[in-house]
Amino acid sequence: MIVYLFKSYYYLLMEKIVQQFEELKVLVVGNNPIDLSRTFESLSKISGHKVIAEIAFDLASIVERLGHFKPNYILIDDNVGQPELKATVLALSSNRKTRHVPITVLKNSNYHEAMNTGVMNYILKETITGDSLYTALKNSLKFKKTQLYLQQAYKKRKGQLLRLLKAS
């Protein structure tokens, strides 16, 4: 019964967090104009939300955009290349302004190696629609908020556990 109440409270809390973002501010990172236009088309098909999107092509333009734009979500096209993708995710995950923002990677296929550090979600480009993109963005926000909560809880409980072990 207690577990059920905790899960219900957790899901209600996560739903409230997601509903806070009626305005979807998305930073789209990529270097292929055709894929970027498809992504923007899918973003424009998200109903019920005002979508504000900015484009960045590399780390320098990302830093420039973050000077005046505060995204809720970051979409990165995997066509930027694996080394650039890793560098971009690492830079965004460690940046003070963006470490709380969920990162979603748009993939060409499932056959290539996927990164597991800093990326909250993956979407296949060929199956992307407005609804699937919104669902993926919403889920990535839930995952990121949960990850941040667990990190904070671990840091708080780590000290308590160490004190308990020292006392015994």
How does pLDDT run across 85-110, given as a tens digit for each residue? 888 888 888 888 888 888 888 887 76
Cα 75–76–80 angle (5° rounding)?
165
φ/ψ of 25, rounded to 5, equals: -105, 115
The first and second tokens of residue 100, run together, are: 């709380």
- Residue 119 CA from chain centroid, whole number: 7
Tell me: the pLDDT tens digits for 107-142?
877 655 655 567 767 777 787 778 878 888 888 888
How many whole angstroms separate alpha carbon 69 and alpha carbon 27? 8
